[in-house]
Amino acid sequence: MRIRYFSFWIILLFSAASCPAQEIDWTKARGEAVQLLQELIRIDTTNPPGNERLAALHLQKILEAEGIETRVLNVTPGRANLYARIKGDGRGRPLILLSHTDVVMAEPERWSVPPFSGEIRDGFVYGRGASDMKGTAAVHATLMRLLKRLNIPLKRDVILLAVADEEAGGAGARSIIENHPDLIRNAEFLLNEGDVAYVKDGKLQQYGVDVMEKAALWLRISAKGPAGHGSIPLANSSVNRLLRAIDRLRAWQTPINVPPAVAQGYRILAARQSDPVLRIAYANLEKSLRNPALRKKLLTDNTLNAEVRNTFTITGLHGSDKVNVIPGTAWAQIDARLLPGETPGGFIAKLRRVLADPGLEIEMLEGSVPTSSSADTALMRAIRTVAARRDRNVPVIPTMLTSSTDSSKFRSVGITAYGFEPFKMDDGELDRAHGDDERLSVENVGFALQFLYEVLRELN
């Protein structure tokens, strides 16, 4: 009896230590997150100039009120990152919740509400940054408040980073890595923006988890030639020389290369296709793309096309500012996106061969190396477990982001980074992110908050 009695109290004490002190009022928690989102939207952090220090100070105030350790880390004058940490017992390596507080510009005359009002209308919070990505920042901060408030037992530290300048170069993330490496040392996982819970025709199709990203390579191609008066045509003018090279570039079909995570994602999607051709094609994407007829059909999907090859877009042409002047220099700007395995130098070497004009100057405006993370980790298993509990028939798909985020910077120092924001969104909502009337539904705030909370509990 004594042994049983002792065992009973050990079990009771263990249960008390491993369970939250109280049930979570999710309606109240959602309200807190929505209010914080509205407050963050009302802080204008348009980049440039950014002014993200104001957002960092606001988040610091909110989190310190709960007794959470925080630091405001200056990047440049007026610009700062917010760091916060809740300690675990050390049995696991830290998890980082990453967001950015800067936003792109908005044209108020094109919006139905003031873009920095945070107005709630028909169940949506409107404002620049609502979905990209102050909504996630508000969810992450509210998660931290819940973990601290309820004294949730953690085996790994949970770190919040709300950084500056993601939209225009990533100086905030670089500052953390270069100037404060001790704050993220030994971190194992990172959750950031990237993919979402994708909806089509009103039905949830998949939970997308971005495990790799293409790298941005921004280039300026310049041609030189004799200057002159527009009334005397010059066959070897800089503009003509540039256009001949651009014509060769436009005809270039970059090679097909299917990344493993992309192939895996389409294999998972294959069984859900009503079109029998797509069902077979998705099951073995690499083989299917070697079939000319099937390749033509598949690559009409612009997203799939961007997932299986290096891409480039001609985004600007410049010659003379005067109609009657033949310029001595003309240039084009190119937005290239590189698959994992490619390097900026390697792509530029291929580009030079295509342009076939050794006299052209190619200037790299921005360049980075593509990055990826394993899709077989404890964090991915936690996401799958929570997704199955909520929507058993909806798959979790590892995906590749065809654009890029700050995740690449953290992957480069050995941290497994996933782009995953569990907001249920269709193409129309996704297109608002850098467009007019950007918004995030109140329901989505609550759904993401609960989903990520459950992921953290699974992981801990």
pLDDT-derived band of residue 369, with 50, 70 and 90 as boundaries?
confident
> Cβ atoms within 10 A of the Cβ of 456, count?
22
**For residue 331, is it within any domain?**
yes
Look at the chain and count its residues.
Answer: 460
What pLDDT score does 368 carry? 84
What pLDDT score does 22 carry? 57
Q: Is it the case that residue 5 has pLDDT exceeding 80? A: no
Please say which residue of 367, 394, 420 terminates a domain: 367
Q: Is it the case that residue 290 has pLDDT exceeding 50? A: yes
Q: Is it the case that residue 4 has pLDDT exceeding 70? A: no
- Residues 58-82 pLDDT 10s: 999 999 999 999 999 999 999 999 9
* Gap between the Cα atoms of 78 and 46, Å rounded: 12
Cα angle 38, 447, 29; round to 5: 55
Cα angle 343, 210, 456; round to 5: 130
Q: Is it the case that residue 212 has pLDDT exceeding 50? A: yes
Domain that holds residue 61: 23-214+370-459
> Mean pLDDT in the chain?
94
Which residue type does 290 have?
A: R
Same domain, 177 and 223: no
Cα angle 150, 40, 29; round to 5: 25
**For residue 13, is it within any domain?**
no
- CB–CB of 213/406 below 8 Å? no
* Gap between the Cα atoms of 45 and 165, Å rounded: 10
Longest pairwise C-alpha distance within the chain: 108
Q: Is it the case that residue 18 has pLDDT exceeding 60? A: no
**For residue 125, is it within any domain?**
yes
Same domain, 341 and 375: no
What pLDDT score does 169 carry? 86
Q: Is it the case that residue 310 has pLDDT exceeding 60? A: yes
Q: Is it the case that residue 21 has pLDDT exceeding 60? A: no
> In the predicted model, what is the mean pLDDT of residues 401-413?
94
**For residue 6, is it within any domain?**
no
List alpha helices for 65-168, DSSP H. 135-149
What pLDDT score does 455 carry? 98
> In the predicted model, what is the mean pLDDT of residues 83-98?
98
Characterize the bridge pairing of strands 311-318 and 329-338. antiparallel
**For residue 8, is it within any domain?**
no
Which residue type does 6 have?
A: F
What pLDDT score does 312 carry? 97
Same domain, 224 and 99: no
What pLDDT score does 420 carry? 98
- Encoding tokens for residue 117? 């009002």
- In order, the DSSP letters of 330-359 are EEEEEEEEE-TT--HHHHHHHHHHHHT-TT
Q: Is it the case that residue 161 has pLDDT exceeding 60? A: yes
Residue 335 belongs to domain with CATH number: 3.30.70.360
Q: Is the peptide bond before 48 cis (omega within 30 degrees of 0)?
A: yes
Cα angle 70, 75, 77; round to 5: 110
Cα angle 139, 143, 148; round to 5: 150
